[in-house]
Amino acid sequence: MPHTTRRAGLCATLRQRELDALLVTDLLNVRYLTGSTGSNAALLVPADPDADAVFCTDGRYRTQAGSQVPDLERVVDRPCDTALLARVGGAARIGYESHHVTVDRLDALAGAAPSAELVRAPGLVEEQRLVRDDAEVEALRMACAAADRAPAGLVEHGGLRPGRTERGIARELEGRMLDHGAAGPSFESIVAAGAHSAVPHHRPTDAVVKAGDLVKLDFGALVDGYHSDMTRTLVVGRAADWQRELYEPVAASQAAGRAALAVGAQVGDVDAAARGVIERAGHGEQFPHGLGHGVGLEIHEAPALSKAGAGTLLPGMAVTVEPGVYLAGRGGVRIEDTLVVRAGAPELLTLTTKELVVV
């Protein structure tokens, strides 16, 4: 089971850090390590590979936990964090997720295990989550597939046409993702028409699509807790010369960014490879955001592909590549894919065409 393997990897990290156990309280990290999707849970993971982790939730999730976490001892109590720490005996060194625990809550944790030494241990699980295992990549593939099928149906059935509102298109786009297996959208879908397409994170309004508009669609599907992320920019009616001229360097930049996703590459170098194409086209100032980000149980995770980003790409990392150019008051273009870093060439998960589509 992937959860067993993930916990084993964490145990090895704990031994390297000279910790006796880690108290996991971030719910996404609990889900990653156990499969639990409840809204209240904690996990105590021992460093000893021969000892089992202990899971805790409250009575609302007793039955659900029996199904989702069948392989661990389950404690039904609340608060979960102190209930687990109360089981710790002796002068153990217990790590806790200090990026998740408040100062006030730390006092309660210390009181629950007065003989233990509580040690700040932020980001240990997130560091492991940087590289996706096979089960995670399959969930990402399914999420990307559900998203891929939505714009095709939207276009085929006339959903992008003059007179429709941004909000109406967004609702239909999200409904089509649900029809194709998504549990929900990854985030609030962006539909930005005309001058609104020049706003990177525009929120859909009742603005009406007009013939000749650029329409930017930024959306994703949620499957098994994993997020996809994709952006396509289309033209309704007839594409003007300036729109094609704007689209060309963004498409070339996006291709350069995808090609730079090599095992061992520095994330800043990947950003530079794509950004340089747009800068040479004279639009450097109109590309105001990073090239991309990690994607998984959260829509934005490490690593950050940006000028300020730090780190090296590893096989199995899932990232987006999403350059954009935005001309205030006129329109903008962004093209985005979700990919998995692989030896040789990245695996492309979002397969919708990146050619300029005119509908």
d(CA 347, CA 343): 9
> For residue 1, what pLDDT is reported?
74
289 CA to centre of own chain: 17
d(CA 273, CA 156): 35
The region, left, alpha or beta by phi > 0 then psi within -120 to 50, assigned to residue 237 is: left
- 111-140 burial: b if 16+ Cβ within 10 Å, else e: ebbeebebbebebbbbebbbebeeebbebb
Per the structure block, which two tokens stand in for 276? 């340089």
**CATH among 3.40.50.2300, 3.90.230.10, 1.10.287.90, 3.40.50.150 for 134-348:** 3.90.230.10
Where along the chain do its domains lie? 2-128, 134-348
Q: Kindly list the distances between the CA atom of residue 133 and the CA atoms of 124, 129, 276, 317, in Å, as whole numbers in the listed order.
A: 16, 9, 32, 9
> For residue 256, what pLDDT is reported?
98
Give the CATH number of domain 2-128: 3.40.350.10
Beta-ladder partners of 337: 321
The DSSP H or E segment spanning 54 is strand 54-57
Per the structure block, which two tokens stand in for 73? 């001892």
> For residue 91, what pLDDT is reported?
85
> For residue 271, what pLDDT is reported?
98
**How high is the mean pLDDT in each 10-residue block of the chain (359 residues)?**
95 98 98 98 97 97 97 97 93 96 95 95 98 98 97 95 98 98 98 98 98 98 98 97 98 98 98 98 98 98 95 98 98 98 97 97
> For residue 146, what pLDDT is reported?
97
